[in-house]
Amino acid sequence: MTAVPGTWPTSRSRALDWLVHETTGEPFADLVFGEVCRRLVEDGLAIDRATFALRTLHPQFLGGLFLWEPGYEEAAVNLYSHDAMRNQRYLESPVRAIFDGEVAGIRRRLDRPEEEGPNYPIYDDLREAGHVDYVMMAVPCVSGNINAAAFSTRRAGGFTTGELTTIADILPVLGMAVELRSNRRIAKNLLNAYVGSHAGERILAGDIRRGSGETVRAAIWHCDMRGFTLLSESWPRDDVIGCLNAYFDAMASPVLEHGGDILKFLGDGMLAVFPLEEPRACERALQAALEARRAMRAINEARREEQQPEIGFGIVLHAGDVMWGNIGAATRLDFTVIGPAVNVASRLDGLTKELRRDILLSGDFASLCEGARVRLVHVGAYRLRGVEREIDVFGLPEDFGSLPAPRPA
């Protein structure tokens, strides 16, 4: 029977059949890649090492590399930061040549060192491990990006033409499968980075209509930098950005590490929540505040040594009901929290300046973190603008407050 050009080949591999028909429910690209490699070996291909390099959109990572070898239950995943593009190992790699569009594919017989062409360091590593043949192919994406897949073997004589054809046939479908799953991961990463993990999950789940939301009990974190207006008017732009980034790193890292959800950055301020349905939410929020203060003290100590002005700050912790959902204009929405409790947290922020304290807690919050083993001091009861009732305010006994950043000389 003569095959009609453009039709699905009757001699397709079982790995390709599996990839097309049985991967619908598998959400992870690395697992798909590892299983494809395992099935290619079952089909008789002499693959002793396989990698898939892909680029992504992430604030911290440039991309990732899936690595599979026989015996692996699943592919290993390595993530690479944006600095990796300046790494000499990357600059001298076949991946860079593929990513930059210099070549569409590379074939190198490692048992023939006399062969002409670039001698990438990876070749020496593979030779030492006993590999004799290496091939890397570009995997174009619908987005216009180019990923890259590489395979090597220890079998004497290297890959056969039939094996290379099988690999070339499966890569376009594998590339689409990886891109589809990678795009969802990219969407989740970007939503997590810009709106927070809880809001990101809600948006991906389809909760996108204006006015939709839920009322939840939460610990509310509100912080800001002291003297930011003066700083932004007096300092060079790059110094202001560097100062802000250092401050937000000190604030955000402990919040995330202790299970908080950062909703937004407001100029020099940050709003986060710790849902009270999670165990010890208020204790974790207080611990995050203590760690943020330690981080800021370390930053300010370094700034003093460099004869730089210190960064003042205030952190407020409150607890109450918040409405968490979609708010905004018809075509421009924000997924955030609103409600009287959020207003109280915002108003308490002004007291951190007035009382010159780094950390203040409302009575509502303090009553929920009795297990934190941190002694709290009742600072007083205060009337806040726009709040009908007096708010009991607590602080830490050793907290004498941080100073505003002075005007630079």
Convert the pLDDT of each residue in 212-229 to its tens digit.
778 889 999 999 998 777
Domains located in the chain, CATH noted: 14-194 (3.30.450.40), 197-395 (3.30.70.1230)
d(CA 312, CA 307) in angstroms, rounded, equals: 15
Q: Which helix (DSSP H) or strand (DSSP E) does residue 211 occupy?
A: none
Nearest Cα to 230, choosing from 222, 240, 221, 220?
A: 240
d(CA 310, CA 103) in angstroms, rounded, equals: 51
pLDDT value at residue 207:
66
Q: How far is CA 1 from the centre of its chain?
A: 52
Q: Is residue 153 scored above 70 in pLDDT?
A: yes
Q: Which residues pair with 140 in a beta bridge?
A: 146
Nearest Cα to 390, choosing from 366, 369, 363?
A: 363
Mean pLDDT of 246-272: 92
pLDDT value at residue 8:
47
pLDDT value at residue 211:
67
Beta strands of 38-104 (E only): which ranges?
49-55, 61-68, 76-81
212: three-class secondary structure by DSSP: coil
Strand order in the sheet with 146-153: 76-81, 61-68, 49-55, 146-153, 133-140, 105-109
SS3 string, 299-331, reads HHHHHHHCCCCCCCEEEEEEEEEEEEEEEEECC
Mean pLDDT of 101-111: 93
pLDDT value at residue 13:
80
- pTM (two decimals): 0.66
d(CA 382, CA 290) in angstroms, rounded, equals: 23
Rg (CA), the chain: 28
pLDDT in tens, 352-384: 988 889 999 999 999 998 766 788 889 999 888
pLDDT in tens, 267-325: 889 999 999 999 999 999 999 999 999 999 999 999 899 888 888 999 999 999 998 87
